[in-house]
Amino acid sequence: MTETERVAVLAHEKFPHRSKTANGVLRYTDAEVVAVLDRDNPGERAADLLSAVQDAPVVAEFADAQAAADGEIDTLLIGIAPIGGGFDDSWRPDVRAAIEAGCDVVSGLHYFLAEDSEFSALAAEHGVELRDVRRPHDDLTVAEGRADEVAADVVLTVGTDCSVGKMTTTMELAAAAEAAGIDARVIPTGQTGIVIEGWGNPVDRVVSDFTAGSVEEMILEVGDDHDLLIVEGQGSIVHPAYSAVTCGILHGAMPDALVLCHAAGREAVHGYEETPLPPISEYVDLYESLARPVHETAVVAGSLNTRSVDDDEAAREAVAAFEREIDAPATDPIRFDAAEIVEVLQ
Amino acid sequence: MTETERVAVLAHEKFPHRSKTANGVLRYTDAEVVAVLDRDNPGERAADLLSAVQDAPVVAEFADAQAAADGEIDTLLIGIAPIGGGFDDSWRPDVRAAIEAGCDVVSGLHYFLAEDSEFSALAAEHGVELRDVRRPHDDLTVAEGRADEVAADVVLTVGTDCSVGKMTTTMELAAAAEAAGIDARVIPTGQTGIVIEGWGNPVDRVVSDFTAGSVEEMILEVGDDHDLLIVEGQGSIVHPAYSAVTCGILHGAMPDALVLCHAAGREAVHGYEETPLPPISEYVDLYESLARPVHETAVVAGSLNTRSVDDDEAAREAVAAFEREIDAPATDPIRFDAAEIVEVLQ
């Protein structure tokens, strides 16, 4: 997204705690977010519900977003990504209204808006674009095991689960690295990162045989032009549904270092509550031992999402406990600072 | 494929040692193979080049297959699957000739014949079908972590590498189980298994997020109707390109037991010769520790492909050494017998 773009973000019934894409865009996009659509929280302000984001009014529907923005909206972004990536028909009136108002619609869903007959016809009629960022390009292929050939150091964020802060950590590390004078580049692998960076392969949507290859392709494309690549991880290596993507990224990226991301208090796999998370130290062993035969690497730092922890003192204690479990320095890059992790990466 | 189908199998320049699909079909299909197309070996017989297969003449091109079959060919099968799954244009004259002769063409390539403009036009003209078995169906979704709910025991073949014998082991175990009076069913995950079984999801071709889900779907579909499911594994958990598929199958299948497959003498990843295989015992640890947080399992048996070993005595020694490395009974199901592994699975 560009600096001059005015964006409304749809996040019905999931904002602010289950709206990963919306939150990422509110935090990291250069574009102006004119409103967040959430029919559960009309009248609120984004910055009151989430820390470290650009502010925007929360409204119930697209017409209210238009009112809040004096009608000047360029883009409607689908800012939520339910398990499975389907389209919820309760969103249809807002998407319809946006297209009729001349807005492009950007979506990271598995369900492609451009293949929806109503939306595609309406978009043609109103001359707007339906941008499905999760549609992979056609030239992807299998990995050659060559990502370690690039000049840049490669860091990969890995997680104990989905939605623990890998994308956020990736973005915060990139910002902190730039602040420290390091020429860093994000390798986005999911819809939010791709929307923010305006570039990238949607690794969870590619043909499974090309999972590692789709990461390798990005690293080879830009890896000789920067000092540090920070690869956005996905899922978890022991996730009942998404571990394939995690494993493909781990072997395709051939990272020199791993940053393990976790959410304080998370005890079971998100959405699979009968599956408890194994001990944190087991994740360190698993990621390192699984990576080793392809490219040796180590968990050199941790990132703990302490959103569920009330005060800073308790959050610091949680970070300290996490550091002991991973035997490496850690932080909460949102509550505290990513700079100390960047020092470890240098 | 059906018993009455007469099939020519294209395996140019790769038969018999790099023609996995051709070999699997020659061993396990109920159909009649009338010829193998291999321009490097015309005049040979399939049964002289491969053990335990139905015999067929090896010919240089489709016209020779017609001559060998007195013109009666129903189907041309693309029997080789190069890395990346592309279509080699040197095969085009044979595919063209087959379509013009009224044959259906079955392919497990990533490249879909039905999307090739020449072939699709020619197929329409001659009223034949182009069957791309690697095209996934449209209703796949993410795994729910429910494969362990079925009545059947679930066994998964896993490997130290590609092309070590997972599909062969799967088929031999199924046959040996049936011979022992066990109601067993193969869960095919790759093009060869799907061609042989006439059913299955091409797991390496599905959207990466749906890798585990595409396996779970098959298990839930048939798992209450049989005593034993034998899931065909793919790749290896430390393969630079294909580990994503392996990992998704491991977590999607939630297997009760693993059979580790290896090829005697294999020291590096096939096609990635700079990447040595880790010690066999490390594979046992990796597969078990990676599976455990989702569903506890163990390597209970091994299958060693001893094709590269000259005599039976040396092969028995190699199997014995493999048994010590995995700390479980093993066999070569082609050279020796799969029955002893089936005993472990009961």
Q: How confident is the model at residue A30 (pLDDT cuts 50, 70, 90)?
A: confident
Q: Are B120 and B230 in a shared domain? A: no
Scanning B207-246 for CB atoms below 8 A from A yields: 207-213, 237-246
Q: Does residue B135 register a pLDDT over 80? A: yes
Mean pLDDT in residue range A305-333: 97
User: Would you say the C-alpha torsion B34, B40, B41, B43 has a positive or negative sign?
Assistant: positive
CB-CB contact of A59 with A35 (8 Å): yes
A113-122 long-range CB contacts below 8 Å, 24 or more apart?
A113/A78, A113/A87, A116/A87, A118/A92, A119/A95, A122/A96
Give the domain-ending residue among B97, B132, B167.
B132
Q: Is the domain of B159 the same as that of B42? A: no
For residue A184, what are the domain limits?
147-345
Residues B296 and B151 grouped into a single domain: yes
Shared domain for B324 and B225, answered yes or no, is yes
Maximum Cα–Cα distance for chain A, whole Å?
59
Please give the angle made by the CA atoms of A112, A41 and A98, to the nearest 5 degrees: 35
**Ramachandran assignment for A145, one of left (phi > 0), alpha (psi -120 to 50 degrees), beta (any other):** left
How many domains does the structure of chain B reveal? 2
The answer to the question of residue A53 being in a domain is yes
pLDDT tens for A57-94 read 999 999 999 999 987 999 999 999 877 778 999 999 99
Token pair for B254: 């939630």
CA distance A296 to A289: 8
In a domain, B140, yes or no: no
Q: Looking at the structure, do residues A338 and A198 belong to the same domain, yes or no?
A: yes
B66, B99, B132 - which closes a domain: B132
Specify whether A116 is located in the same domain as A153: no
* In-domain check, residue A141: no
Q: Do the domain assignments include residue B179?
A: yes
Are residues A335 and A218 both part of a single domain? Answer: yes
Same domain, residue pair A90 and A10: yes
Q: Say if strands B272-276 and B268-269 run parallel, antiparallel, or are unpaired.
A: antiparallel
Q: Quick one: which of B153, B338, B148, B142 has its CA closest to B248?
A: B142
Cβ neighbors of B196 (< 8 A, separation 6 or more) are B1, B24, B25, B28, B29, B171, B188
**Same domain, yes or no: B155 and B124:** no
Instruction: Assess whether A63 and A175 both reside in one domain.
Output: no
Query: Does B254 fall in a domain?
Result: yes
Say yes or no: A273 and A319 in one domain. Answer: yes
Q: What is the CATH number of the domain that holds B25?
A: 3.40.50.720
Partners of B239 on chain A (C-beta within 8 Å) are 251, 294
Question: Are B86 and B120 members of one domain?
Answer: yes
CATH number assigned to the domain comprising residue A178: 3.40.50.300
Is the pLDDT at B195 greater than 80, yes or no? yes
Domain end: B132, B167, B194, which one? B132
In a domain, B84, yes or no: yes
Q: Does B134 touch chain A (CB under 8 A)?
A: no
| DSSP conformation letters of A101-149 | TT-EEEE-SSS-GGG-HHHHHHHHHHT--EEETT---TT-----S-GGG
- Inter-chain residue contact B242 with A142, CB threshold 8 Å: yes
**Residues B276-306: pLDDT tens digits?**
999 999 999 999 999 999 999 999 999 999 9
Which of A231, A272, A226, A265 is CA-nearest to residue A248?
A231
pLDDT tens digits, one per residue of A296-306: 999 999 999 99
In a domain, B141, yes or no: no
- How close B300 gets to chain A, by Cα (Å)? 21
A46 in any annotated domain = yes
CA atoms B237, B240, B241, B244: torsion sign: positive
User: What is the Cα–Cα distance from B294 to A269, expressed in whole angstroms?
Assistant: 10
Measure CB to CB from residue A240 to each of B143, B239, B286 and give the nearest one: B143
pLDDT at position A68, please? 93
- pTM for this one? 0.89
Question: How far separated are the first and last CA of chain A, in Å rounded?
Answer: 30
Residue range A258-273, pLDDT digits in tens? 999 999 999 999 999 9
**For residues B153 and A251, what is the distance between their CA atoms, to the nearest angstrom?**
31
List of chain B residues whose C-beta atoms are within 8 Å of the C-beta of residue A275: 145, 293-294
